[in-house]
Chain A
Amino acid sequence: MTQNSMHTFEIRDYLREELMPHFMCPGCGHGIALRALLWAIHELEIDKDCLAIVSGIGCSGRVGTYIDANTVHVTHGRPLAYATGLKLARPDLEVIVITGDGDCLAIGGNHLIHACRRNLNLTCIMLNNEIYGMTGGQVSPTTSQDRFTTTTPLGNHEPGFDACKLAAAAGAGLVGREITLQAPALKNLIKEGISHPGFAFLEVISDCTEIYGRKNQLGESPEMMLSQKASTRSDVYRNTVDQPFRPNAFETGVLTRNDRPEYAAAYRKHIEKKTLI
């Protein structure tokens, strides 16, 4: 073990403290996700100089800014595309994408499908708070049915989408989900995702207390998180695995593993063989 892992995790070692106070609302789950990510990075002993965080637009997109690493805040929905180029050009970098439910599933949905299909060694952390928070609380692909948002004033008539099923079906190397209430478990899941030699899609069930919670009278952050905890009932989830939409229950932890060849390694091997002929 190196010296780094000997001492306990100190979040300040990984933050740009000069940027504090951060801009997240009180009760927002994104801060816990950020802490879990940095904790995982610490335990995996990843060199900050070789860590690249690529994020898109929205509340999730601003989270990466606070990390003391090579951080890139790109256009809406496109972090997976930028990360694909960066990782292919620089395999030595640990490239982690932080995205949100709108960024990743709506405007960036196509990129997610193809990132899963390619299985390039990236880790994609999707912070799912079921809402477009930054723009004022509009409905997103994962907003639960009947919930109120600023663009579903009569309640959402669409069911919330299950991104993990999409990612698994599209061939992602590892698919997992965790809630922010279980921070150590979230940290361990992120570690698994980063360590997996392929594309890892991790959904973090976050909470938007300030906009979504208030609008739907879901209580303060602790109530929202406890309600998420109550939804992690695997017996209910398993009965609905064939549905692309999430019922009011979901499973957590590593959901699927797919040991397919990693994209960059496969490309190098392929062109080496062909160029020799």
Chain B
Amino acid sequence: MQGNHACALGAVAAGCRFYAGYPITPSSEVAERMSLELPKVGGTFIQMEDEIASMGAVLGASMGGVKALTATSGPGFSLKQENLGYASMTEIPCVIVNVMRGGPSTGMPTRASQADVMQARWGSHGDHPVIVLTPASVDEIFTETVRAFNLSELLRVPVVLLYDEIIGHLVETIELRKPADLALFERKWTKVAPDEYLPFAATDNGVPEMARPGDGYRTHTTGLTHGENGFPTQNPAEVDRVMRRLLGKLDRNRSLIESYEALACDDADILIVAYGITSRAARRAVKLGREQGIKVGLFRPISLWPFPQLPLVEIADSATKILVPEMNAGQLCLEIERLCSPASRVSRMNRIDGEAITPAEILARVKTLEPNR
């Protein structure tokens, strides 16, 4: 099965019943598969007039209580960013797929890149919470799509599923799990009496309970900075309180979100930090390197934002060198340099020509980093 199709099937298995999107290479197969699958389960597929409208429709559907998905690539992702910020601000669950292609601008639509790592985190204006997950195989696209819906519903945060064109178009065997076999989290609908309900009051995990339209709550939702009652406020003390709660949601729930894989890290002198298709080349490089007696390991973040920082710091502690291969001009390496002191340990390795980084290239670079050279 193709990666983009696995994303669609993962979404349907996670309970997604609404898709709005706009065609863009290399993500269009997600939309195509959703247009086929959703009618079978009573869902709705709509191709909107642009990416902005797609994101708006997704949020409208989610406000109505239906799990909703959209998929796009770099240029379309830029167009979605304003409404993505609305989702962060109003805490409307939604999942956005960004299949990364070469950029900037129209760039290389059919070639792969990993250049939206920072756009995924900082693409919308203002301080805003967003979760970014980055699968590295077709099977993991399926499972991470399910997890994206779970995290979004549970924490009321937009979740970006970020993967490169190669993973999106890769065809691999996957295990198709049935919804009954998956742990699915549902949004917490409030049971508080309507006259006592505050739509943006924090609960135990910092996430407010939602009210479904039609259930008698008649709430107000606005992208303006709002108080616990949902209505606009500019009272500094109130703004400070509600914004800190909003921005603190991810920190409070880091253990739920953060995920990574560590391969041969225990005694590694040289640590490779890689994600997506590049992590697969790195995995091969680690195997070849170990066969040649090089103490090399791989740290593969699956949640990019929030970044699994404590696990990395711990694992990287004993490494003398850290290599960050990426298909961009250097994005995640900034976070690695920030976390792994001294930053002089961190080496960048970048390809920006639309081609994947090969295991041989990584291994050759690893060899130059060996301490005894």
A→B interface (CB under 8 Å):
16, 19, 48-50, 52, 54, 65, 68-75, 78, 80-90, 92-93, 110-111, 113-114, 267, 271, 274-275
A38 to B62, alpha carbons, bound, how many Å? 26
A65 to B213, alpha carbons, bound, how many Å? 15
Q: Nearest 9 A-B pairs (CB), nearest first?
A: A85-B60, A81-B56, A85-B57, A86-B60, A89-B61, A89-B64, A271-B39, A90-B64, A82-B60
Please encode chain B, from 35 to 48, with 1 for each CB lying within 8 Å of some chain A CB and 0 for all others: 00001100010101
Residue pair B18, A89 in contact (C-beta under 8 Å): yes
Q: Which residues of B contact A88 (CB under 8 A)?
A: 18, 44, 46, 57, 60-61
* B68 nearest CB across to chain A (Å): 7
B215, closest chain A residue (CB): A49
Q: How large is the interface on B (under 10, 10 to 19, 20 to 34, 35 or more residues)?
A: 35 or more
Q: Which residues of A contact B83 (CB under 8 A)?
A: 74-75, 78
Residue pair A19, B18 in contact (C-beta under 8 Å): no
Contacts between the two chains (Cβ within 8 Å), count = 132
Given contacts A73-B220, A85-B64, A110-B50, 15 further A-B contacts (CB under 8 A): A19-B231, A49-B215, A65-B222, A65-B231, A65-B232, A74-B56, A75-B82, A78-B52, A81-B56, A82-B59, A82-B63, A84-B56, A85-B63, A88-B46, A89-B18
Among B20, B63, B68, B218, which residue has its beta carbon within 8 angstroms of that of A68?
Answer: B218
* B12 nearest CB across to chain A (Å): 14
Residue pair A69, B218 in contact (C-beta under 8 Å): yes
A65 to B66, alpha carbons, bound, how many Å? 24
* B200 nearest CB across to chain A (Å): 14
Among A48, A75, A80, A84, which residue has its beta carbon within 8 angstroms of that of B46?
Answer: A84
Residues 250-301 of B at the A interface (beta carbon under 8 Å): none
* A165 nearest CB across to chain B (Å): 20
Among A80, A86, A114, A275, which residue has its beta carbon within 8 angstroms of that of B61?
Answer: A86
B126 CB-CB contact with A under 8 Å: no
Please encode chain B, from 230 to 252, with 1 for each CB lying within 8 Å of some chain A CB and 0 for all others: 01100000000000000000000
Decide: A81 near B224, CB < 8 A? Known: A88-B18, A89-B68, A110-B50: no
